[in-house]
Amino acid sequence: MTNNQSFYVVLKHSKVDEISKTVLINDDEGIPYEFETLEEAERVRDLFQSNTTHNSVYEIKKICG
C-alpha cells in the first residue's frame, strides 16, 4: 500500500486457556493480508468466520495511512 492510503485488515479474536488473544490474519509468508476495499475484507472475514472450529470471532479493522 502507498502512504496516505487507507486499507483494511482482518483480526482474529480467540480464547486459549481462558486468555484472550487477537492476531492479524497473515498470508503463507507471515505478512498481514491488506485489502483495498471493505468488500474484499468482508469476503475474507466471512469465509474465515464460516469455517472457524474454535468459536473465534473475526473483525475488520480500517487502517488509515
Q: What is the pLDDT of residues 5-31, one digit of tens each?
A: 899 999 999 998 889 999 999 999 999
Question: Is residue 18 helix, strand or coil?
Answer: coil
pLDDT number for residue 33:
95
User: Given a cut of 60, is residue 61 above it in pLDDT?
Assistant: yes
Q: What is the pLDDT of residue 2?
A: 52
Which residue has 469455517 as its cell numbers? 51
pLDDT at 34 over 80: yes
- Residue that wins the pLDDT comparison between 54 and 3: 54
User: How far is CA 23 from each of CA 4, 33, 60, rounded to the nearest angstrom?
Assistant: 24, 12, 12
The pLDDT value recorded for residue 4 is 75
